[in-house]
């Protein structure tokens, strides 16, 4: 039996990477001539995948979400495929060399290693300023950040959350309900909450993706949980520096200075705005040509190929410039990636005829208003496909 020599390397093991690898193994491999010469090699910093949208609730207590379903080991998800068709490596990609078509990665243990790729799928996603919402490193460091936060909660009397998007609104709402409970049916706001929670946003309204009426409803729901919203207000600085982001000052008393010069004193500060795209493996000399101004991989938004990186290189998910960072966009990207990669592999293998005839499959982002934002454990606002308008 031949040994695999054509590595289809997938960087990242979350929504994008796992779906891509699964789709390639299921829909492309059966059609490849000499399929035993190909292998999908997934390299991911974490050995688990997790339900990232659930982080604002999960970080508070293990009792709020079923942990066995929140964190899932990656390797067993691929045991259904022939043994040599898939290999998982826990490691962090540190350099992508387009010319030699290699990726150098730092394994979880040991010295850096280099692997050559025949095809490459980049799905390394994004990181958040607070380590509590992402695998900024791996599952161990995520859990360590939650643990530090939980230790500080019992003595916390004031929390400042910076940001007006869904992550900020969700975490403020979850903390409000957990720490303060909910105001009665006839009260517009929770008077004298046990913990004062302040949400600071530089925008004129929270939840910029949603229509103003939904944002107003969200603000009203937050008020019932003891959350005050400051709009048109920007956090200028925090002391100590790195508060809420760095491990040693993750949940520590913080002076939050606003752009007005006013200061807020918080027992805990949570930066819940903005994301950074995980592209540290793009060499300095390639960064200006490979990355968009916002730091994402330049990806053809129709075919999901990374055209400047040579043949059979693709990107999906948050790190790809093809669509806004959201799970529903990734789910729509995967069939397109899979179809175009299949054509490229079959063509390169010399296959002719119907299997490679026709046009590329084309991705088109659905840009309609779509977002679901839980506010506390049983309420929320959202819109789907721009048509449905719901307030729970
Ligand atoms: C708090 C929060 C709530 C959200 N809620 C929603 C929601 O309700 N609905 C929605 O549609 N979207 C939501 N999102 C966005 C959604 O989570 C992302 O769009 C999605 O996680 C992106 O998936 P991904 O596979 O592209 O990357 P990520 O989920 O960011 O995962 C990247 C993976 O790559 C690995 N990695 C990173 N760097 C490297 C490297 N150099 N080498 C190897 N591996 C690496 C990481 O360990 C990780 O496994 C939310 C995001 C956050 C932060």
Task: Say whether pLDDT at 240 is over 60.
Answer: yes
Listed in sequence order, the DSSP H helices in the chain are 15-23, 55-58, 67-70, 139-152, 166-180, 212-223, 284-290, 327-348
Using alpha carbons, select from 348, 280, 367, 323 the residue that is nearest to residue 16: 323
Q: Which is it for strands 263-266 and 254-258: parallel, antiparallel or unpaired? A: antiparallel
- Following CA atoms 31, 123, 363, 387 in sequence, which dihedral angle do they give, to the nearest 10 degrees? 130
Question: For the chain, what is the radius of gyration of the CA atoms?
Answer: 23
Please state, rounded to an integer, the average pLDDT across all residues of the chain. Answer: 95
Using alpha carbons, select from 309, 348, 319 the residue that is nearest to residue 28: 348
Q: Which of 9, 11, 13, 14 to mutate to test the pocket of ligand 1 (most atoms within 8 A of CB)?
A: 14
Look at the domain 6-128+276-356 and name its fold: FAD/NAD(P)-binding domain (3.50.50)
250-269 pLDDT, tens digit each: 999 999 999 999 999 999 99
Which pLDDT score is estimated for 387?
A: 65
Contact 249, 240 (CB under 8 A): yes
How much distance in Å is there from the Cα of 125 to the middle of ligand 1?
5
Q: Same topology for domains 6-128+276-356 and 151-273, yes or no?
A: yes
How much distance in Å is there from the Cα of 249 to the middle of ligand 1?
24
Task: Say whether pLDDT at 19 is over 90.
Answer: yes
Q: How would residue 357 be classed by pLDDT, with cut points 50, 70 and 90?
A: confident
Q: Which of 327, 334, 368, 383 to mutate to test the pocket of ligand 1 (most atoms within 8 A of CB)?
A: 327
Q: 3-state class of 92 per DSSP?
A: strand
What ranges do the domains of the chain cover?
Answer: 6-128+276-356, 151-273
CB within 8 Å of 376: residues ≥ 6 apart: 173, 174, 176, 177, 182, 221, 225
Using alpha carbons, select from 60, 67, 70, 77 the residue that is nearest to residue 21: 77
Geometric angle at alpha carbon 14, from 284 and 334, rounded to 5°: 90
Task: Say whether pLDDT at 67 is over 90.
Answer: no
Q: How would residue 392 be classed by pLDDT, with cut points 50, 70 and 90?
A: low
Which pLDDT score is estimated for 388?
A: 59
298-322 pLDDT, tens digit each: 999 999 999 999 999 999 999 999 9
Q: Of 188-192, 197-201, 250-254, give the lowest mean pLDDT range.
A: 188-192
Is residue 11 lining ligand 1, measured as CB closer than 6 Å?
yes
The stretch 61-88 carries a mean pLDDT of 94
Q: Which CATH architecture has domain 151-273?
A: 3-Layer(bba) Sandwich (3.50)
């Amino acid at each position: 039996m031949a040994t695999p020599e054509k590595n289809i390397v997938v960087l990242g093991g979350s929504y994008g990477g796992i779906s891509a690898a699964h789709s390639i193994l299921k829909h492309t491999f059966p059609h490849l001539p000499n399929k035993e010469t190909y292998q999908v090699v997934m390299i991911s910093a974490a050995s688990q995948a997790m339900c990232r949208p659930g982080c604002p609730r999960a970080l508070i207590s293990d009792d709020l979400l079923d942990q066995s379903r929140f964190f899932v080991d990656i390797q067993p998800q691929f045991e259904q495929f022939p043994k040599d068709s898939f290999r998982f490596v826990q490691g962090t990609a540190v350099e992508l060399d387009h010319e030699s078509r290699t990726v150098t990665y730092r394994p979880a243990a040991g010295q850096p290693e280099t692997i050559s790729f025949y095809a490459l799928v980049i799905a390394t996603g994004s990181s958040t300023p607070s380590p509590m919402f992402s695998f900024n490193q791996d599952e161990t460091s995520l859990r360590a950040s939650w643990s530090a936060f939980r230790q500080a909660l019992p003595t916390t009397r004031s929390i400042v959350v910076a940001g007006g998007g869904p992550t900020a609104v969700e975490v403020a709402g979850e903390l409000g309900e957990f720490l303060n409970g909910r105001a009665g049916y006839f009260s517009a706001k929770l008077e004298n909450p046990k913990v004062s929670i302040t949400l600071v946003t530089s925008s004129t309204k929270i939840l910029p993706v949603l229509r103003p009426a939904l944002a107003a409803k969200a603000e009203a729901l937050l008020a019932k949980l003891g959350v005050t919203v400051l709009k048109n207000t920007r956090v200028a600085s925090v002391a100590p520096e790195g508060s809420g982001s760095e491990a040693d000052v993750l949940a520590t008393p913080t002076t939050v200075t606003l752009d007005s010069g006013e200061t807020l004193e918080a027992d805990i500060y949570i930066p819940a705005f903005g994301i950074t795209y995980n592209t540290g493996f793009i060499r300095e000399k390639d960064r200006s040509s490979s990355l968009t101004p916002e730091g994402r991989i330049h990806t053809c938004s129709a075919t999901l190929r990374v055209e400047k990186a040579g043949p059979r290189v693709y990107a999906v998910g948050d790190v790809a410039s093809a669509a806004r960072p959201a799970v529903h966009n990734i789910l729509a990207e995967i069939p397109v990636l899979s179809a175009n990669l299949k054509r490229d592999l079959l063509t390169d293998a010399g296959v002719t005829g119907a299997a490679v005839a026709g046009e590329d499959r084309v991705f088109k982002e659905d840009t309609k208003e779509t977002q679901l934002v839980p506010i506390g454990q049983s309420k929320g606002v959202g819109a789907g496909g721009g048509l449905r308008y719901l307030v729970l």
